[in-house]
Structures are given as C-alpha cells and as structure tokens.
C-alpha cells in the first residue's frame, strides 16, 4: 500500500523493485513523481513479523543513484512504432519513533498501528482509516517524510524482515485522500528478480541486470547475474497489493 498523510495533487510514474534478501528478508525500492502543496508523509505498510523491533528495517540511501529505475527501463526497449502516437498533548510524553536521514528525506519504521501516536500528527493517517483496513493491523510501516513541491522522488530503499519469507510483496494499494476506495487508477511499473511460476507471467529482460544497471551503486540490492522481470499496471484496477509466491 502507498498512502499519504495529506491530500496530494498528483502521483504518477510509480516504480517498485523487489528482491529476496538473506534470512527471510526482502529488499524494496520505491520511486514516483509527486506533486503536493504541503509537507507530508508517504506511508508503506509492510508485512513484517508481529512484534518486530524498531530497528528491524534497514534503510538504504540511493540518493547517489537517482537513475536506478531509468537504467532498469533500458532492459525493456520500446517496440518499434507501427504508426500513431502515444499542539502538546499526552503523546508528547511518549518516546518518539526514531528517524533516519536517507538522502533527501527522513524515514522511520513504525512497528504497529498503535505506534503512529508517537509520530508528528502531520505524518499520520486518520485513525478511522485503519479500521477500514484490518489486514494492515498486523503490519509494520515505513514512513518517509517528504517536502512540498512537484518533483520526481529519488528511489527510497530499505530491507525488511518478512512475516512470510516465501512471498514477495509489492505495496500497490492506493490511499491518496485519506479514504479507502475499491478501485484506483494505476500508473505502476513493478520490477523484481525472482524465480517462480508467478513471475513467469511477467516480462523477462533479454540481458542480465549488470548489462543495464550500475550494480555497485545499488549497494547490494540488485543481483548482477540475474535477469529482471517487469509487470506494468496501468488504468483502473482493483485497489490491492501485489504478491508473488
């Protein structure tokens, strides 16, 4: 799920990369174009084990590799054209959630829904939102605090422990206005490196990742000697997360 603590004017060109890490963990990289008039937070619920520690998520700084997804796109050259065009309260006494500087933004890991009370109110969703999303009450949450403006967000990356290490997770549920809608307009490109029956329905790159990606700049996130797989989600679709078994 991708949700925002305040209303946004526009979100587009969302790109997500996932790959299994070690010891049942998963890498996740997220980027998008965002237009907003005020400071806000992007919240990504992630399926972490219940009771995960506050340092369970490792944030990775990809500020020096803003072209992470542009390079991945090189593995999928477009087909030749055939013509045509295209205020103070009790919460102040509660220990605050730890924040980490990750490139041009600040990030936090919130272990559970109840821990959101330890964040600044500007970076929380209305409590009633979580009542409409009971599935996520067992999740942890990465929170990225973003500044106002219209810009492409450099890739946000982290490694997290998975509650189910057999499944790959992509946060694709939308909440852009504080409300939960059954359908949403998608403008997503999902990438992964994984061998499974599910991923065989995705588009496989003809070359290994090292042919298009600057591997050292990925800081271990991308495997050099594996192919990339991509699925594009565009248009009106069921508002749900994406999983690979």
Percent residues over pLDDT 90 in the chain = 51
Residue 229 has pLDDT above 50, yes or no: yes
Higher pLDDT, 37 or 26: 26
User: So what's the pLDDT on residue 1?
Assistant: 59
Rounded distance between C-alpha atoms, residue 198 and residue 245, angstroms: 6
Question: Could you tell me if residue 120 is left (phi over 0), alpha (psi between -120 and 50 degrees) or otherwise beta?
Answer: beta
Q: Are 125 and 2 in contact (CB under 8 A)?
A: no
More confident residue, 102 or 28: 28
pLDDT at 94 (0 to 100): 65
Nearest to 122 by CA among 145, 156, 90, 149: 145
pLDDT recorded at residue 86: 45
Helix, coil or strand: residue 102: strand
204 pLDDT band (50/70/90 cuts)?
very high
> Residue 124 pLDDT more than 80?
no
Q: How far apart are CA 84 and CA 209, in angstroms?
A: 32
Residue 67 pLDDT:
96
Confidence band for 184, pLDDT divided at 50, 70 and 90: confident
Please report, rounded to a whole number, the percentage of residues in the chain having pLDDT higher than 70. Answer: 91
Cα separation, 12 vs 229, in Å, equals 21
Q: Does pLDDT of 166 surpass 60?
A: yes
**Higher-scoring residue by pLDDT: 11, 180:** 11
Whole-number pLDDT of residue 93: 59
Most confident of the following: 2-6, 140-144, 179-183, 214-218? 214-218
Is the pLDDT at 183 greater than 80? The verdict is yes
Phi, psi of 59, rounded to the nearest 5 degrees: -80, 140
Q: Looking only at Cα atoms, what is the longest distance across the chain?
A: 64
188 burial type by CB count under 10 A (0-12 exposed, 13-18 middle, 19+ buried): buried
Residues 78, 55 contacting (CB under 8 angstroms)? no
Q: What is the pLDDT of residue 232?
A: 95
Least confident of 62-71, 143-152, 165-174, 176-185: 176-185
């Amino acid at each position: 799920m991708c949700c925002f603590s305040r209303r946004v004017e526009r979100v587009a060109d969302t790109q997500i990369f996932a790959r299994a890490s070690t010891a049942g963990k998963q890498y996740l990289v997220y980027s998008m174009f965002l237009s907003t008039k005020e400071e806000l937070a992007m919240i990504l619920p992630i399926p972490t084990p219940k009771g995960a520690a506050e340092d369970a998520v490792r944030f990775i700084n990809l500020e020096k590799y803003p072209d992470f997804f542009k390079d991945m796109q090189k593995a999928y050259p477009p087909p030749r054209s055939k013509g045509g065009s295209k205020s103070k309260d009790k919460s102040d006494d509660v220990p605050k959630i730890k924040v980490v500087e990750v490139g041009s933004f600040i990030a936090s890991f919130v272990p559970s829904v109840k821990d959101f009370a330890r964040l600044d109110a500007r970076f929380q969703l209305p409590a009633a939102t979580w009542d409409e999303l009971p599935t996520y009450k067992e999740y942890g949450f990465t929170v990225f605090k973003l500044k106002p403006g219209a810009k492409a967000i450099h890739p946000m990356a982290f490694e997290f422990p998975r509650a189910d290490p057999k499944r790959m997770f992509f946060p694709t549920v939308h909440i852009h206005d504080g409300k939960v809608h059954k359908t949403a307009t998608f403008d997503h490109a999902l990438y992964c490196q994984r061998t499974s029956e599910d991923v065989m329905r995705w588009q496989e790159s003809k070359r290994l990742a090292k042919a298009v990606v600057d591997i050292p700049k990925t800081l271990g996130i991308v495997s050099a000697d594996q192919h990339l797989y991509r699925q594009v989600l565009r248009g009106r679709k069921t508002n749900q997360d994406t999983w690979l078994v």
